[in-house]
Amino acid sequence: MADYRQMWSDLGMDLDKHDLLCEALPDAFQGVYLSQENRPQGMDFFNFVVSEIHGVRPAELMEHQKAGGKVFGTFCVYVPDEVIFAAGGIATGLCGGSQFWVSGGEKVLPANTCPLIKASVGARLDKTCPFFRIADMYVGETTCDGKKKAWEILSAEVPVHVIDVPQMKRKKDIEAFQGEILDFIKIVEDFTGNKITPEALAKSIKLINNKRKALQRLYAARKAAPVPISGKDALLVTQIAFYDDPARCAEMTNILCNELEERIQAKEGVFPADALRILVTGTPLAIPNWKLHHIVETAGATVVVEESCTGTRYFEQLVDESGSTIEEQVKALAERYMKTNCACFTPNPGRIDDIIRLADEYKVDGVIDVSLQFCNLYSTESYLVKQALADRGIPVMHIETDYSEQDYEQLRTRVEAFLEILRK
Amino acid sequence: MISIGIDIGSVATKGIVLCDGLQWRAIVPTGWSPRDAAQAAIGQLLNLSGIERHQVGQIFVTGYGRVAFDQADKTITEIKCHARGIAELYPEVRTIVDIGGQDSKVISIGEKGQVLDFAMNDKCAAGTGRFLEVMATALGLDVSELGYAEDPSRKLAISSMCTVFAESEIIGLLARGNPKGNIIAGLHQSVGKRVAAMARRMGIKEAVAFTGGVAINQGVKRALEEEIGSALIVSEACQFTGALGAALLASQD
């Protein structure tokens, strides 16, 4: 990695503590990623981003700030990035996928909080994530109780705007979400000093749609057998998409897809054509949480699709681009975002329909339903998922885990036993 | 064909050699090195049986430490091995409750001994041999003594699921002068409740077998039978079920 110590120091980061993280990541990435065979060359860009994860993109964001631009840190697929980019701002994901940050979060949060929230709060409070240091504003939402309270803690550090995501999907809820987007437009306009015009919003809707289309293309390639890219690599692309410049991310993903489509033509893959195909559903897998995929793919099976926020929920739906007034565009945005099926909604039959549809489209042999520990919403919904899949004869296994390594061998036993059942 | 099955558990490593319908068993503590333990178990098996290493067709390895042993012809999960082992011993069994050193499992098996579904405890010691070991230490006993030392005429409820809190609870019960036998009966009940809840969630079909090192403990067996509401089949070699399954799979592969 290039030397970013001056930049990190300027950001007020805890350099000694951060060094520990920087030392651990290359080994983890080598063991989980670089050791894979026959990886697509198009992954080189994404490898580079990981190798410089706290350097290259943060430096770009700081350049943007020096030129007078604002950076918004976001946590959730319900935050409409389109609004931020339309005002000349940049939206970026924030850290939250490593055990490294959990203990920092535990200083202020109850022990029975999910690791994603603990890690996010810890990354901020321990000053070990540049994205958290750079962001001028955090944009939160109301998708779970843990996060709702976490925003209140974080707002002592940085301005926070919370988008009220409805809990149901009735007509009046979708209308309410339109109101939330209009409010958000006003907040972003005031914060950036830039007016959001219909032209600018139309442009940013296209920009984000293009990123989504590139990710859709990537996932479509995973439908092939043999699969041309590992689940781990595809997951990495999705994870990085939360941080990277949307236009560049789309471009790099499309370059990768060209190669994958050539592989499909040549019937080349990274796993044998008859390898077991797994759908992973559940809570998000934030970078660098690669634990489950690594266990599955070192046991000889392959993950071919993720029904999650770091998967299809992030990009499956596009925003209708035909709107020419702010009102029409906001309606299109609200309709698009409310099509995403998170367990925070009640009822949430759309997610189960999605899992069943994806299981068919990607010809999966089994489903692993993973919940981060203490995520009540997804853990509870797993009962309904299991019932619905059992009715259709789709094998499913529920796993509850966190970011630590301590249940690694036990998870491996569960995954291998599940694969043994599927092999019959 | 002569085959060997090794089950490297967190506490003990069990081995079985099968040769023309005869079998020999060995058990050694796993200790710090699962690899050395497996090696030692194989050595003992060969000594006992008089079979030479080169005569052995295949060695299949299962259990927690299976990945650490590099001389295995194949590694298989203990879930499949327990199912295979029980199918051989008791073909009528449809549900297996297995409590080992660091995990507990409930396995649902089909008519041919195939695994239909399974449940495993989350990353927590409650309802495992480790839980009992910690409690035995708090009571000044060896874990192997718990089964004989219980007095189920009165079961003192242990409400904490967490091993750390349960230990404090026991110390509290002792401090109030409660007899050890009643406390132990309560402990067994606590393990029984925990594992029975997992079994009910998956669905219990009779007959039910109880395997793993903890199955030696008569008190846990009694408690589980009360909680599940059916009699449990316990083989005299309940600890060796996984190793037997591995050896059988090795002989047929």
Q: Which residue of A has its CA nearest to B105?
A: A414
pLDDT digits (tens, 9 = 90+) for A115-130: 999 999 999 999 999 9
Report, as an integer, the average pLDDT of A9-18.
Answer: 94
Average pLDDT for residues A268-285, to the nearest whole number?
97
> Which residue does chain A place closest to B106, by CA atoms?
A414
* Range list of β-strands (E), A152-285: 160-163, 277-282
Tens-digit pLDDT profile for residues B54-82: 988 999 999 988 988 888 889 999 999 99
Q: Alpha helices, DSSP H only, in B50-145?
A: 78-89, 129-138
- CB-CB under 8 Å, B64 with A409: yes
Indicate yes or no: CB of A407 within 8 angstroms of CB of B122. yes
Give the three-class secondary structure for B30: coil
Residue of A nearest to B82 (CA): A417
A111 vs B: CB within 8 A: no
Indicate if the pLDDT at residue B10 is higher than 90: no
| C-beta atoms of A407 and B123 within 8 A | yes
* All structural domains of chain B: 1-90+238-253 (3.30.420.40), 91-234 (3.30.420.40)
CB contact under 8 A, A416 and B77: yes
pLDDT band at B123 (very low <50, low <70, confident <90, very high): low
Which tokens is A156 given?
């002592």
With CB atoms and an 8 Å threshold, state whether A409 touches B114.
no
Do A385 and A281 form a contact (C-beta atoms < 8 A)? yes
* Contact between residue A310 and residue A231 where contact means Cβ atoms under 8 Å apart: no
Predicted local confidence at residue B130, as pLDDT: 84
Q: Beta strands of B30-145 (E only): which ranges?
A: 56-62, 74-75, 95-99, 104-109, 115-120
Rg, C-alpha atoms of chain A: 21
**Residues ≥6 apart with Cβ < 8 Å to A280:** A231, A292, A293, A296, A303, A305, A306, A307, A308, A311, A367, A368, A370
Question: What average pLDDT score do residues A84-88 get?
Answer: 98
Residues 6+ apart with CB under 8 A from A251: A214
- Given an 8 Å threshold on Cβ–Cβ distance, is A410 in contact with B123? yes
CB contact under 8 A, A410 and B120: yes
Is A361 within 8 Å of chain B by CB?
Answer: no
* DSSP codes of every residue in A385-411: HHHHHHHTT--EEEEEE-S-STTHHHH
pLDDT for the residue numbered A1: 63
**Mean pLDDT throughout A280-296?**
97
A·B CB contacts under 8 A: 37
Q: Could you tell me if B80 lies within 8 Å of chain A, comparing CB atoms?
A: yes
ipTM of the complex: 0.84
Per CB-CB distance under 8 Å, the chain B contacts of A421 are 114-117
- In tens, the pLDDT along A301-341 reads 999 999 999 999 999 999 999 999 999 999 999 999 999 99
pLDDT at site B157: 82
Q: For position A387, what pLDDT does the model report?
A: 95
Looking at residue A46, its amino acid is F
pLDDT of A381 over the 90 cut = yes
* pLDDT-wise least confident of A158-172, B122-136, B171-185, B207-221: B122-136
Q: A151-159: which pairs have CB atoms within 8 A and are 24 or more residues apart?
A: A153/A108, A153/A109, A153/A121, A154/A121, A154/A124, A157/A124, A157/A125, A158/A73, A158/A124, A159/A191
CA distance A110 to chain B (A): 17
Are A348 and A173 in contact by the 8 Å Cβ rule? The answer is no
How far is residue A346 CA from its own chain's centroid? Answer: 22
- Tens digits of residue pLDDT in A193-249: 999 999 999 999 999 999 999 999 999 999 999 999 999 999 999 999 999 999 999
Find, in chain A, the residue whose alpha carbon is nearest to that of B103: A410
pLDDT of residue A261: 98
Interacting residues of B19 by C-beta distance below 8 A, sequence separation 6+: B2, B49, B51
Mean pLDDT of B153-157: 85
Domain residue ranges of chain A, discontinuous segments joined by +: 5-423
What is the average pLDDT value for chain A, to the nearest integer? 96
Please calculate the CA angle B246-B248-B251 and round it to the nearest 5 degrees: 110
Distance CA B196, CA A232 (A): 37
pLDDT at B253 > cutoff 80: no
Separation of alpha carbons B71 and B59, rounded Å: 8
Rounded Cα gap, residues A263 and A6, in angstroms: 43
Question: What DSSP designation does A271 have?
Answer: S
Whole-model pTM: value is 0.91
For the beta carbon of residue A405, count every other beta carbon within 10 angstroms. 10
Q: Give A-chain residues touching B115 at CB under 8 angstroms.
A: 417, 420-421
Q: What is the number of H-type helices and E-type strands within chain B?
A: 8, 10
Chain A residues touching residue B67 (CB < 8 angstroms)? 409, 412
Which among A400, A401, A421 is the nearest to B115, CB-wise?
A421
Over residues B127-154, the mean pLDDT reads 85
Which residue of B lies nearest to A408 if distances are taken between CA atoms?
A: B123
Whether B176 contacts chain A with CB within 8 A = no
User: Residue A401 burial by CB count (10 A; 0-12/13-18/19+): exposed, middle or buried?
Assistant: buried
Is the per-residue pLDDT at B125 higher than 80? no
Query: Which positions in chain B touch A413 (Cβ < 8 Å)?
Result: 64, 77-79, 103, 120
pLDDT digits (tens, 9 = 90+) for A41-55: 999 999 999 999 999
**A10 pLDDT higher than 90:** yes
Cβ separation of A413 and B123 shorter than 8 Å?
A: no
Looking at residue B86, what is its pLDDT? 94
